[in-house]
A and B are shown apart, each in its own frame.
Chain A
Amino acid sequence: MSDKIPVTVLTGYLGAGKTTLLNRILSEPHGKKFAVVVNEFGEVGIDNDLVVGADEEVFEMNNGCICCTVRGDLIRIIDGLMKRKGQFDAIIVETTGLADPAPVAQTFFMDEDVSSKTRLDAVVTVVDAKWLTERLKDAPEAKNQVAFADVIILNKTDLVTAEELSAVEAQIRAINPYAKIHRTQRAGVDIAEVLGRNAFDLDRVLELEPAFLEESHHHHHDEDVQSVSFTIPGDVDPAKFMPWVNELVQQEGPNILRSKGILAFKGEPKRFVFQGVHMILDGDLTQDWKPGEKRQSKIVFIGRNLNREALNKAFLACAA
């Protein structure tokens, strides 16, 4: 494991319970010190020596191209925090309820200084069990935050019936079937389930998602943001797949929030794993396919208005 400082991004719509979770993380006796970047000082104070305030400054490096959009405030704050290296073990970035997680995540891939000193650990989204359904109708930010999450804290479960809770969880699953969901009251979750997830570490994709290569259930829904997954029951040809996925994220990147894939390349004993944020992709050969294990190739996109049939046809054409 590298000595880069892990950064957890804490998102959630207004009033969902971000600050409650943050205070829980800070107050539990885990022996770790956190630097906390907050964008809104809520009614609940945050008791920590290393709280840094920030004004969310989304900066378009290029001509409005979504992939080149970063959070200037994070670059600035992380630069400052690194001068205090040794005083904390990890960084938690709390966003405003209206923040888009993508520029936050992209900052960790785009900026040389930030990516050389820190690593994005996971995007954790807190949602309100009672109000999420309404927010998904009227707040695109809430939808993006669910779509983007690696971990979802489904909070305030005491305010809804069991049936309502199942319904809201199904809505979350329709948008993002791969995030780990924790049902909580007052954001009561084991901190180990929130921090140290290594969700952006290619070597951990399988570990985190043992069900990734299993057949997923098809979720019926009418959300414009949804996940689509496609499987080839065997090898793919990298000479076909690489140009295709490059062109796909180049053209459809603004609509693709997150992407992941585990692929069996013809003649390659190791799995090829990739993950991406909008148009930024990161991939590498990781673990070997185990002896006797079925070699198969699966890709997943979470995004807006994705053409399931066209994507499936194009991916199937990459078969070896």
Chain B
Amino acid sequence: MRFGLFGRKEKRGENPALAAIKAWVRQIAGLPEETVIAANEIICADPSCPGTETIVLIMEPGQETRAIKISLAADEITRADVEVALAAEQSA
């Protein structure tokens, strides 16, 4: 896992791509404000991990956290990718 490796996170600033992804997830899934959505781009060098991917955690009150995973960097993700990932998660 090389997230933040020798690069101080404060200098990176907020990632607008992640904010957009969270907004799409909330909108498409119709999630209320009480549901916390965390989106992070993970660049993992562990051989068992798939390299760069963006993981969105959906935390609905009183329910187990759900995750959707998209095998793209955050700034490559479109609304259509989020729709596909959400549909796949819901049918799983």
Q: Report A's interface with B, CB cutoff 8 A.
A: 2, 57, 59, 61-65, 67-68, 72, 75-76, 79-80, 109-113, 115-116, 202, 242, 246, 250, 253, 274, 278-284
**Interface 9-mer from B24-32, B40-48, B84-92:** B40-48
Count, A-B residue pairs, CB within 8 A: 99
- In the bound complex, residues from chain B placing their C-beta under 8 Å from that of A111 are 38, 40
Per the bound structure, the CA–CA distance linking A242 and B2 in Å amounts to 12
Q: Is B65 an interface residue (CB 8 A)?
A: yes
Across-interface contacts of A67 in B (CB, < 8 A): 1, 3, 44, 46
List 20 A–B pairs whose Cβ atoms lie within 8 Å, in order of A's numbering. Answer: A57-B65, A61-B55, A62-B44, A64-B48, A65-B1, A65-B46, A65-B49, A109-B4, A110-B42, A111-B38, A112-B14, A112-B15, A250-B1, A250-B45, A253-B1, A253-B46, A279-B45, A280-B1, A280-B5, A284-B6
The answer to whether B14 touches A280, judged by C-beta atoms less than 8 angstroms apart, is no
Contacts of B82 in A (CB 8 A): none
Interface residues in chain B, defined as those with a beta carbon under 8 Å from any beta carbon in chain A: 1-6, 8-10, 14-15, 18, 36, 38-40, 42, 44-46, 48-50, 53, 55, 57, 59, 64-65, 67
Assess whether B4 is in contact with A282, with CB atoms less than 8 Å apart: yes
Question: Is the pair B48, A110 in contact by a Cβ cutoff of 8 Å?
Answer: no
Residue of A nearest to B34 (CB): A80
Q: Other than A67-B3, A112-B15, give 9 A-B pairs with Cβ distance below 8 A.
A: A67-B44, A68-B46, A76-B36, A79-B36, A79-B38, A112-B14, A246-B2, A279-B46, A283-B6
